[in-house]
Chain A
Amino acid sequence: MEPLPSGLPEIVADNEDLARFLASSSQFNSRMVKPSAFLPEPKSRETSVFRHGREPVDALWHIGDEYAAQGRTIHGAAILTAQTVRSTALAVIAGEPPPRHAAIRNWPWIESDPELLKAQQKEIAIALAGTADFFKK
């Protein structure tokens, strides 16, 4: 299979680190990232992550500032493995451009009861937040 433009393989391996960039200081506290940081965007129905771990740090923040910030300030990143995400029955699918971008998909989606939908998503987001490592910029 052809590698992606970033040079990464198309399939995201279980042991790959994923970085979820945090654009508000309210998305974390001194102990952990908050669940809201992992909830999916309502339009795309996915959570945007980048295939990068803690190191090298400069490269991590470059990706965040360049591709994830979208006009806001990056305050930090939550790092977790693709396997952790998949253990909650979600999917991790590579999606470039931008470079190293991937999407967490297959969130529960109930059109008829948006509040129950949010509750189900929150339970999953709590599980992700509980296992993610947080790094402040």
Chain B
Amino acid sequence: MPEIIPITGDMEWLAPIRAMAGGSNAVSAEAQAVREMAANAVRFVEQSRALFGAKAEAIARLLSLANEYQAEQATLDLSSVALAERFLHALPDDFPLPEFSVEPDGVISLDWIESCHRLFSLSMNPSGRFAYAWLDGTDKGHGVARFDGRQVPRRILEGIAAIFKNGTATLRAA
């Protein structure tokens, strides 16, 4: 049997299939067929609550929020919603999951809120360059980090982890 190089993260083996399912710049009908089959494979795995439960619920909340905004004809950027879903897939599996809100420009905001003095907020800008800001007691700051659709930038993972560092969640950065 060929050698396998182990990778971190319980669900990271799904990442290449997700990448195929999530879209690429290929335009042929055959590429679309691959995309659909990959999406089916991903969906089949994600039906397992044992493998995917908490994230599935988070995505359901995200889509529910998007539906609410669409029903009220409020400003909502659909690209941002799609990016948020992809970002959730890319989060390490035992990472705290965010809350969602919509910013005035229709962009989805992901917020990790430990308290009113410790929070990390991330905007799902459609460009893939995500704006973020944090408050940690008297420490605060902001920045921009690029999401390639597959892997959450380390500085974002570290920023979120720092908010919960004294909490009870067990964290394992990718």
Interface residues of A (CB under 8 A from B): 23-24, 26-27, 29, 31-32, 34-37, 39-42, 71-72, 113-120, 122-123, 125-127, 129-131
Task: Name the residue on A nearest B61 (C-beta).
Answer: A26
Taking a contact as CB atoms closer than 8 A, the residue among B100, B113, B127, B131 that contacts A31 in the complex is B113
Greatest chain B CB density within 10 A among A39, A120, A122 is at A122
User: How many Å from the CB of A120 to the closest CB on chain B?
Assistant: 6
Give Cα A118–Cα B123 distance, bound, in whole angstroms: 8
User: How many Å from the CB of B103 to the closest CB on chain A?
Assistant: 5
Collect the chain A residues with CB atoms within 8 Å of residue B133's CB.
35, 119-120, 122-123, 125-126
User: How many Å from the CB of A111 to the closest CB on chain B?
Assistant: 14
Interface residues of B (CB under 8 A from A): 65, 68-69, 72-74, 99-105, 107, 109, 111, 113, 115-117, 119, 121, 123, 125, 127, 129-135, 140-144
User: How many Å from the CB of B132 to the closest CB on chain A?
Assistant: 6
Taking a contact as CB atoms closer than 8 A, the residue among A26, A29, A119, A129 that contacts B142 in the complex is A119
Taking a contact as CB atoms closer than 8 A, the residue among A34, A71, A113 that contacts B109 in the complex is A34
A-B contact pairs, 30 of them (CB 8 A): A24-B74, A24-B101, A26-B100, A29-B99, A29-B113, A31-B113, A34-B111, A34-B113, A35-B111, A35-B121, A36-B109, A36-B111, A36-B121, A39-B103, A41-B104, A72-B74, A115-B130, A115-B131, A116-B131, A118-B125, A118-B131, A119-B131, A119-B133, A119-B144, A120-B133, A122-B121, A123-B133, A126-B134, A126-B140, A129-B116
